[in-house]
Structure 1
Amino acid sequence: MTTETRHDEVRRWLAGVGTIAAAVNAPVELPALLDLIARTACELTGYEAAGVLLADDAEHALVISGAHGLTTEYVARVNAEHTIELGSGPLSSGPSSRAFRTAEPVAISDLAADPSFDPWAGLAREHGYRAIVAVPLLVGSRPAGTVNCYRTGVHHFGPDEIDLLKTLANQAGIALETARLRDRERRTIDDLEQLNQSLTAQHRLLEQAEQIHRELTAVALRAGGVQAVADALARLLARPVLVADPAGQPLANAQHRGVLLDPAPIATAGDTAEEATSPLRDSTTGELMTAPVVLGDELVARLWIAGRVSGLGPLDRRAVEHAAVVCGLELLRQRTALEVEWRLRGDVLSDLLGGGDSAGLGARAESLGHDLTRPHSVLVVKADRPGGQVQQGAGPSDVRRLLGIAQVTADGSGPRPLVTSWGDYVVVLWPEGRPGPRAADAAEAIRQAAQRALGGGTASAVVGRCCIALSDYASAFRIARGALELAQLRGRTNRTSTVPDLGVYGLLLQLEDPRELVRFADGVLAPLHHYDERKDLSLVATLRTYLEQGMSTSRTAAALFVHPNTVGLRLRRIEELIGVRLADPGALLHVKAAFMAEDVTGSAWGSSSPAPDGGPLPGAARASASGVDRARGERGRKT
């Protein structure tokens, strides 16, 4: 070979190596670089095909990752069906595997004559390949893969030829290492950029979280009230916010850009038991979302926010949760203040019903904002119990809810009504003779609101008489309370009543001294009570049911779940014991009046309540009250 020819050869190889170096500096993506190495190998050596094989991450196999001249089918089938393995087995003895393990070139002049190539011989023959040389591709003195060159005819690879291929492979190794470093650097830069963006976003989130904490904490510290909580949340979310009690009555309404939420659909939106304390969720009432405000296990309010939950970011949701907590604290603060005020009013009512010092009572009531010198009607409200079980006390939460409802109703009126509780009863002294709702309207408003607030329960209300003097309140309260108990006992629940609505019962309740009623009831019914106690029978309950069923033996038997003959026998025993014939209209009226007297004395004073003069009821009254209890218990068992 002439000197000029050698110089041309050197320049050609240098140009090929330079092309690879330029591609690395460009930079070029790794698959394109590997294809370029394979093409350069073919161009510099005149081989028909070349491939660059790289070890997988676990170094279990070699994969053709770049190629020139090799068909797509050949590359796919080698990689998928005839994988070049680096461990042990029939697919790990080929030239590529040996070149990788020994870091030395492996050449096969005739593929058909070398058994180590048998797994790939058929595939190579289909595509016309007859000779191969595999040169290790070193990266930092460690094999990373091989450069394979193919000839379509039998070919002997000489030492000079292999040395040139090793030089090309070494340059390719440098290019591969540089490309990998560049890829790692690019990934590192991308990771750093993402981290920087994440840190920036987190910084913004921390600033927003600090703003949420600062604004809502400031509301809590200055005791700004529920309205201040709603205003702060509306600013943070840039949305209107409404706070409503469990019955749907607004407690606060905060606008955004002049827009306020309409409380009307909220007041009619009922929650199921599961939804009542569920987390932030979309409401079925228009484009609204709602979140509970809970104290302990009690739902005390709900936040209503314009929009849907999907439109809130994580911090917005945190703001809603934080606002619900602060709102609960504000309501707890208000409740504590109200409970202290209710307790003070309860002391006034207790002394008022007990006939305390008039001058002192008036001054104490005036200090609480109530003028007892003007006429007041007595309203009594109580939660209904299932099946008319009036002897069971209402739950503390029911009384508290009813107190809150009555207070909201009273707050819109002036002069200020006195709202407090007396045991299981909510008592309202409603001022008369001034503009605004009448006592009956106020009682009905409280009852209707209770139906929404008691979680499916109901309440009954009675409007008592109007009191002019302080001495009128004890009897007015007693009569109204007895009327309410009688209404609940007779199943007339979830309604607002007045004493005249009870007819004869109302008249009997207004008797100041129950002793005559007790004596009359005992004179008629005591033999039946004593007989029931000795024999453990139900003559009183049978007689009461017989009267309630229109003197029908069959209906009485069905109501008591006994045979009609049993009812007939009991009625004859009753007639013998009390000395009357139930078929006699006069005697029947006598018995009915005794039952009514017994109901009145048991409901108006009860077995442990004091008589109007402050002393205990006589033994006859206690017996008649216990008789009412037994009758109620018997009817509870029959149902």
Structure 2
Amino acid sequence: MDLLLDDASIDELEAHRLAFPGPDAHAALRLRALLDQRRQRSTELAALNDIAVRLTTARDDRVLLQEVVDQARRLLGVDLAYMGSVYDDEFVIEVTSGALTPNLIGIRLAQDEGLVGVIVRGASPSWTPDYQSEPAFRHITGADSAARSENMRGLLGVPLKVGDRVIGALFACKRQERDFADSEIALLSALAAHAAIAIENVRAIERLEVVNAELSARTAELEQTLQWDRTLTQVVLRGGGVGRLVREVATLSGRPAFFLTDASSVPESLEERVVPVEILFGQCRDGADIVADDFVIAHRVAAAGEFLGVLISVGPDDQQTRLLLDRAVPAIALSLAEERAAAEAARRAQDAFLVDLLSHPASTTDDERRQLRLAGLSPGASYCIAVAQGMVSRTEIGRSEFPVGTVVAEHGSRVLVAVPAQESAVVRPMFTTGATVGISEPARGAVALAAAYREAQQTVDVLITLGRDGEVSSARGLGIYRILLSHMAREHLDELTEEQLGPLMAEQSKRGVPLLESLSVYLAHGRHHSATAASLGVHVNTLYQRLDAIDRLIGSQWRDPDKALDLQVLMRLRRSADLLGK
């Protein structure tokens, strides 16, 4: 007991027992062994606590793994320790301590191979006294080659678990055959448990840092986007227009920017890149939102499905510039919409001023000059008023080559054109749209222009009534049909019709027999009875009866060629007048 009190080693106590056998010597030896075990356990616990503290302060995944294997090797007194992580279906060895070669690091093992497979699949410790001759698991060439290079024999492995999930495994190895005691398994398992939590914490922190970095980047991007939006919105609110917006885009991006409405408007500064720019423009026009090559980024500008143009940024393709173009495009579309709305409002106002001038001419000189000025006309100039009807718009009319000072307006389904001219014949060739157009003679002043407008309207009405669609004519070009433009002439036409054809119209109204139509068709067919009967859809005898009735009512003198021609012209004019209306 004195030796025990003097802290004699177990070897000294064993020698004393052999020299002086007895119960006290045996008791002292057992007590020494128990004290050594408790001292070892105390040392291990202290080491585990120390490791736990250090693991909680580790922030680098690789440093943390290295700390774990170094401590495992020291605490278990083994030759080699290594650890790896589970990635999907593989186990990858990542760090070693005490390795003779670097061959172990980076080895990938399937989860059904070697001792690793037993540990990962079973989620529990496992060991073998001699790895190289162990028949209990499948050996593979790569792992066995590394094991031989390290002369692995006794091998203990424990899983690194977080909850029910195995995230890796920790191994302790001797280069001689060796069994592992339960206390060693428990010690390595405790170390693995600390390591698993620490590793998961580090990885969680790393994931959090990645998320924070992404969030910071997105926040910075959002702040940048908001700043761009504020800048571009201010330009729009101040009425800066598309040109100012494009210059702002160039300033914000630090690179040239252009807005193109068609492929032919490529600026001179892009002369060397005309073909690529035209290709990118075509792709945007065909529906692509944003396209780029090595030196140009092109972004489609559209509103309500309508293609408006392409915003071009000159320089390498990058996400920052793409984002800026994304923010600029709505502002440009809005500015274009505002410009269009303003232009449309101005156009409608001028249309209204011209229609007001031509429909309600002022009665005083001052009011007349104001009306002319608002309508865009010069008080001292003469104008031919043209009225166009048909499948035509002011845009199509505007493409024609009219002289400076021409004013175009829309009024209902018709387009009005006031052309500075001294002769209507000069104006006629200017209309090439295929519309039906009536042109007045030159007029000056509000009252005269209003009369010219009525003349042009009546002319186009007559052309349409006569079926002369697509024709361009002045009143003089109507020939005998010009009579239809005069109210007095039309009254005289009524009197003449009653005088010459009154009895026929009365009989027709009384009996319901189309005598006027029969006479008109008969004369139109050159007095051929069979052709006339066929055209009317009656028997030739019926036609003879109708002609006899006409002779009886207005006399047979209508058969005279000159008289027949007069009646034919009269009926045609009467029919046209009826179509025009009283």
Matched residue, 2:24: none
Name the aligned partner's letter for residue 123 of structure 1: R
Matched residue, 2:234: 214
Matched residue, 1:467: 443
**2:332 is aligned with 1:326:** no
**1:416-427 correspondence to structure 2 within 5 Å:** 424-427=413-416
**2:340 is aligned with 1:351:** no
Per-residue deviation, 1:485? 2.6
Give 3-state SS (helix, strand or coil) of 2:246's partner: helix
For the residues of structure 1 that align with 2:574 and 2:561, how far apart are their CA atoms? 20
Matched residue, 1:78: 112
Residue among 194, 214, 230 paired with 1:194: 214
Per-residue deviation, 1:194? 2.9
For the residues of structure 1 that align with 2:420 and 2:365, how far apart are their CA atoms? 19
| 1:137–1:144 CA contact under 8 A, matched in 2 | yes
Per-residue deviation, 1:214? 0.3
Residue among 375, 382, 389 paired with 1:375: 382
Per-residue deviation, 1:375? 3.4
Per-residue deviation, 1:503? 3.7
Name the aligned partner's letter for residue 348 of structure 1: L
For the residues of structure 2 that align with 1:541 and 1:288, how far apart are their CA atoms? 71
Matched residue, 1:486: 462
Quickly say closer, same or farther: Cα 1:193–1:138, change in 2 above 3 A. closer
| 1:430–1:439 CA contact under 8 A, matched in 2 | no
For the residues of structure 2 that align with 1:601 and 1:183, how far apart are their CA atoms? 96
Per-residue deviation, 1:78? 0.9
- The normalised TM-score by structure 1 is 0.54
Tell me how large the CA RMSD over aligned residues is: 6.7
Give 3-state SS (helix, strand or coil) of 2:109's partner: helix
| 2:462–2:576 CA contact under 8 A, matched in 1 | yes
**2:99 is aligned with 1:123:** no
Name the aligned partner's letter for residue 516 of structure 1: H
Matched residue, 1:598: 574
| 1:109–1:131 CA contact under 8 A, matched in 2 | yes
Name the aligned partner's letter for residue 218 of structure 2: S
For the residues of structure 2 that align with 1:468 and 1:371, how far apart are their CA atoms? 9
**2:242 is aligned with 1:230:** yes
Quickly say closer, same or farther: Cα 1:602–1:339, change in 2 above 3 A. farther
Per-residue deviation, 1:216? 0.8
For the residues of structure 1 that align with 2:486 and 2:339, how far apart are their CA atoms? 44
- The normalised TM-score by structure 2 is 0.58
Quickly say closer, same or farther: Cα 1:203–1:74, change in 2 above 3 A. closer
Per-residue deviation, 1:213? 0.1
| 1:380–1:481 CA contact under 8 A, matched in 2 | yes
For residues 378-411 of structure 1, what are the alpha-carbon distances to aligned partners after superposition, in whole Å with 9 as ceiling and x for unaligned? 2222234xxxxxxxxxxxxx7xx53x77789899
**1:211-290 correspondence to structure 2 within 5 Å:** 211-219=231-239, 228-238=240-250, 239-241=257-259
Give 3-state SS (helix, strand or coil) of 1:189's partner: helix
For the residues of structure 2 that align with 1:240 and 1:233, how far apart are their CA atoms? 10
Name the aligned partner's letter for residue 183 of structure 2: D
Give 3-state SS (helix, strand or coil) of 1:497's partner: strand
Residue among 475, 484, 502 paired with 1:499: 475
**1:21-420 correspondence to structure 2 within 5 Å:** 27=60, 29=62, 45=78, 64-66=91-93, 75-76=109-110, 78=112, 100=124, 105=125, 121=136, 123=138, 134-137=157-160, 146-147=169-170, 157-159=179-181, 162-219=182-239, 228-238=240-250, 239-241=257-259, 291=301, 302-303=308-309, 305=311, 313-352=322-361, 357=363, 359=365, 362-365=368-371, 368=374, 370=377, 374-384=381-391, 402=394, 413-414=404-405
Name the aligned partner's letter for residue 75 of structure 1: L
Quickly say closer, same or farther: Cα 1:152–1:180, change in 2 above 3 A. same
For the residues of structure 2 that align with 1:150 and 1:29, how far apart are their CA atoms? 21
Give 3-state SS (helix, strand or coil) of 2:110's partner: helix
For the residues of structure 2 that align with 1:205 and 1:545, how far apart are their CA atoms? 83
For the residues of structure 1 that align with 2:158 and 2:413, how far apart are their CA atoms? 97
| 1:38–1:52 CA contact under 8 A, matched in 2 | no
Give 3-state SS (helix, strand or coil) of 1:316's partner: helix
| 2:90–2:108 CA contact under 8 A, matched in 1 | no
Moved more, 191-200 or 470-479: 470-479
For the residues of structure 2 that align with 1:538 and 1:288, how far apart are their CA atoms? 74
For the residues of structure 2 that align with 1:530 and 1:44, how far apart are their CA atoms? 137
Give 3-state SS (helix, strand or coil) of 1:467's partner: coil
| 2:158–2:192 CA contact under 8 A, matched in 1 | no
For the residues of structure 1 that align with 2:332 and 2:522, how far apart are their CA atoms? 56
| 1:348–1:361 CA contact under 8 A, matched in 2 | no
| Equivalences, count | 495
For residues 103-139 of structure 1, what are the alpha-carbon distances to aligned partners after superposition, in whole Å with 9 as ceiling and x for unaligned? xx5557799xxxxx9xx94736999999975545467
For the residues of structure 1 that align with 2:457 and 2:546, how far apart are their CA atoms? 32
For the residues of structure 2 that align with 1:30 and 1:534, how far apart are their CA atoms? 119
Give 3-state SS (helix, strand or coil) of 2:179's partner: coil
Quickly say closer, same or farther: Cα 1:78–1:586, change in 2 above 3 A. farther
For the residues of structure 2 that align with 1:210 and 1:257, how far apart are their CA atoms? 29
Per-residue deviation, 1:232? 1.6
Per-residue deviation, 1:419? 5.7
